Amino acid sequence: MAYFDNAATSWPKPEEVYKTVENVMRNFGGNPGRSGHKKALEAARLIYEAREVIAEFLNAESPTNIVFTMNATDALNIAIKGVLRPGDHVITSSMEHNSVARPIYALTKCGVEWDIVKCASDGTLDPEDVLKAIKPNTRLIAMTHASNVTGTVMPVEEIGKIAREREIVFLVDAAQSIGVLDIDVKKLNIDLLAFPGHKGLYGPQGTGGLYVREGIKLTPLKQGGTGSFSEELMQPDILPDLLEAGTLNTPGIAGLAEGVRFLKKMGLSRIRTHEEMLARRFLEGLEKIEGITVYGCPKQRSEVAVISLNLKNLDSSELAFLLDSRYDIQVRPGLHCSPLAHKTIGTIERGTVRFSFSIFNTIEEVEKALSALEEISSEIG
Amino acid sequence: MAYFDNAATSWPKPEEVYKTVENVMRNFGGNPGRSGHKKALEAARLIYEAREVIAEFLNAESPTNIVFTMNATDALNIAIKGVLRPGDHVITSSMEHNSVARPIYALTKCGVEWDIVKCASDGTLDPEDVLKAIKPNTRLIAMTHASNVTGTVMPVEEIGKIAREREIVFLVDAAQSIGVLDIDVKKLNIDLLAFPGHKGLYGPQGTGGLYVREGIKLTPLKQGGTGSFSEELMQPDILPDLLEAGTLNTPGIAGLAEGVRFLKKMGLSRIRTHEEMLARRFLEGLEKIEGITVYGCPKQRSEVAVISLNLKNLDSSELAFLLDSRYDIQVRPGLHCSPLAHKTIGTIERGTVRFSFSIFNTIEEVEKALSALEEISSEIG
């Protein structure tokens, strides 16, 4: 088996993640932030420690600037709908995932204006084009950090600077970058960073988060019990309570914290080096296979180990099916929930087959994938 | 140790729940509904089976009428904001949790009208009062099934009938009733049922759901990737995709399904009988302790095993602290995120100490709690 679908959800996870989730369920079963007895306090401590480890990982001001969510999509909805009001203008790239595009599209039905800045056909974005799209009512620039289709990395630092100088809120979707690229929210001028827990951070599914810069005021998407200021019908106006209603996923979040500790112990550069090595070998091998088209920017193809390809005229679903059923190789075909990106790179009709690597993939698995592709290529002539 | 905070989150869980969560994380790591390879399909199958088991448990039309959420609060927000528009009128009881009250309060700032039907000081509600509160623009009646403060059970069947006859949407918050009371959504005329996974269903934290009756149209609160109709910028208009954006909590949901299977195996009536037995013994013992006040409706106090009390003039937090620190008994003091309920029963100033039982509590633990309360009562004179 070779699991190359880490951009959808990473698997396997580090052993400590499995163990922590189980241990927390069995032995730390209280409701964090409620009650006040020892089991509730233990749960609250686990959650706070998770905020701490993630805040440090992102160079956030404080653990309270980390809000836990169900997944990155939840975080993106909280961010986008927390900022935009009718009459506001929002700018995105043309490489966005539906988790950015669909919430914004829904808001355009309520008077929000949306401009999509066109990327080149390799997925790259010129920050000048973002600058040109800014209007007096631009309130938000929302952008993926790295494309989930081509792995293309966006110039977030430059765009962050452009946004900050104009007091435009800058939201980054770190779905494919967190746990791989260095993210220092201060250095990159990021106001809001939405991230999944279950991809590059190696946490369990059902986790994600939103970094909210101190001073950025969001209208909450959801209200409910917080275990704080319970006498008030208004959602408490402090972070993280303002954006966290209801019982958190304590075992999941404790597992996520273990995932981040694993990354810190390994060091992001080691992870990146390993994944880049796999990606480079894969790309090198692909060059020798007849009929392979690789999408995205050649210079960046190995930076975030997400590689989209097609083989001759084969349907992407058919190729993925052959790889899975005959070679036990798991990849993702189709549009990867990113129609805008596929329009940009010219693959909206057939989609692509995506290979995405993690620290747990091996060079042997990559060789196996290359042999499989070679065999399929020669078979279909 | 005696854990009596099951109304906040149940603990422990059945052994199968722990094992399933771990097994799914280790061995079924794909992203459900994405990709199409065997690991993704295995995950999708687990999710579908969870929908099936819950749909059957609630007598829902079909598994696709079950939407998975992060918790009951998430489900209530999706329901309330999916139904109400400016100019609409909503009716609730005066026993609601902040997970119902706070989202509605936020909507009153955008032109939604809210009437709170006053319950008696024992928490009971007269359906006639709900009928009287209906106006031509009443679009929603939202109500807890059982109070999380007093355990008082609301007349949902009668109110469901009133609502259905008038084509008013009826939303029930089953946070304290699911897994204890029989819930047949058809019999009770329920249109929307929000439920937590981590309380009476004995699933892990980070799970919850919303039953949506066939034909009830909700505007989605969140949009994003669904793995379906990916070429469309509009959220797919089919259930459950319309209301489920982003990666689901596969291990958590598989664990939740195990919790429901455990309930089915035990039978709800056995669970109810056990919890009622504990509650009756507790209430009987409390009568003999000087200075105890028990809140709620005497007739219903043991139906849902949630019992709120105060001891003499002791602050609720102080009593809970003594029980935890000296006797290793975990209860919840304060307002339990339900200020409306405390105003109704007259305890908004000091709150109450809440004991809530599960199938795993024992009669010995109840006796231990009674002895502890007796000792504290005699000490404070």
**pLDDT value at position A33?**
83
B185 and B200 co-located in one domain: yes
Does the CB of A3 have a partner CB in chain B at under 8 Å? yes
**What is the count of structural domains for chain B?**
2
Shortest alpha-carbon distance between residue B326 and chain A (Å): 11
Is A111 a residue whose pLDDT tops 90?
yes
Is B7 a residue whose pLDDT tops 90?
yes
Give the CATH number for residue B271: 3.90.1150.10
**pLDDT value at position B303?**
85
Res. A66 pLDDT band, cuts 50 70 90: very high
Q: Name the 3-class secondary structure at B193.
A: strand
B40 and B85 co-located in one domain: yes
A278 and A149 co-located in one domain: no
B129 and B84 co-located in one domain: yes
Does the CB of A234 have a partner CB in chain B at under 8 Å? yes
**pLDDT value at position A108?**
98
Answer with the one of A235, A266, A297 that is the final residue of a domain: A266
Least confident of A155-159, A293-297, B32-36: B32-36
Separation between Cα atoms, residue B161 and residue B138, nearest integer Å: 15
B44 and B6 co-located in one domain: no
B254 and B290 co-located in one domain: no
Residues of chain A contacting residue B12, judged by C-beta atoms under 8 Å apart: 26, 29
Answer with the one of B222, B237, B266 that is the final residue of a domain: B266
Find the closest chain A residue to B9 by CA distance: A31
**pLDDT value at position A213?**
98
Separation between Cα atoms, residue A276 and residue A297, nearest integer Å: 15
Is A365 a residue whose pLDDT tops 90?
yes
Strand ranges in chain B using DSSP code E only, listed in sequence order = 2-3, 66-69, 89-93, 113-117, 138-144, 169-173, 192-196, 208-212, 292-294, 306-311, 329-330, 332-334, 352-356
**pLDDT value at position A268?**
96
Residues of chain B contacting residue A246, judged by C-beta atoms under 8 Å apart: 70-74, 99, 208
Does the CB of A46 have a partner CB in chain B at under 8 Å? no
Summarize pLDDT for B201-227 with one digit per residue, the tens.
999 999 999 999 999 999 999 999 998
Question: How many percent of chain B have pLDDT more than 90?
Answer: 96
Res. A129 pLDDT band, cuts 50 70 90: very high
3-state per-residue secondary structure call for A71-101:
CHHHHHHHHHHHHCCCCCEEEEECCCCHHHH
**pLDDT value at position A119?**
97
Hey, which residues does A116 pair with through a beta bridge?
Answer: A92
Does the CB of A324 have a partner CB in chain B at under 8 Å? yes
Is B39 a residue whose pLDDT tops 90?
yes
Res. A303 pLDDT band, cuts 50 70 90: confident
Domain enclosing residue A274, as ranges = 2-10+267-380
Does the CB of B76 have a partner CB in chain A at under 8 Å? yes
Does the CB of B101 have a partner CB in chain A at under 8 Å? yes
A44 and A153 co-located in one domain: yes
Give the CATH number for residue B102: 3.40.640.10
Res. B78 pLDDT band, cuts 50 70 90: very high
Answer with the one of B247, B266, B285 that is the final residue of a domain: B266
Summarize pLDDT for A199-250 with one digit per residue, the tens.
999 999 999 999 999 999 999 999 999 989 999 999 999 999 999 999 999 9
Is B143 a residue whose pLDDT tops 90?
yes
Of the candidates B36, B246, B338, the beta carbon closest to that of A99 is on B246
B75 and B163 co-located in one domain: yes
B148 and B291 co-located in one domain: no
**pLDDT value at position B64?**
98
**pLDDT value at position B35?**
79
Interval A285-302 mean pLDDT: 94
Cβ-based neighbours of B128, under 8 Å, separated by 6 or more:
none
Find the closest chain A residue to B70 by CA distance: A70
Res. B361 pLDDT band, cuts 50 70 90: very high
Separation between Cα atoms, residue B174 and residue B208, nearest integer Å: 11
Is B302 a residue whose pLDDT tops 90?
no
Summarize pLDDT for B284-294 with one digit per residue, the tens.
999 999 999 99
Interface with B, mutate which of A9, A47, A247, A331 (most B CBs under 10 A): A247
Is B36 a residue whose pLDDT tops 90?
no
Interval B239-258 mean pLDDT: 97
B181 and B43 co-located in one domain: yes
Is the complex ipTM more than 0.95? yes
**pLDDT value at position B177?**
98
Question: How many percent of chain A have pLDDT more than 90?
Answer: 96
A210 and A91 co-located in one domain: yes
Is A300 a residue whose pLDDT tops 90?
no
B73 and B221 co-located in one domain: yes
Residues of chain B contacting residue A348, judged by C-beta atoms under 8 Å apart: 231
Q: Mean pLDDT score of chain B, rounded to an integer?
A: 97
Is B381 a residue whose pLDDT tops 90?
no
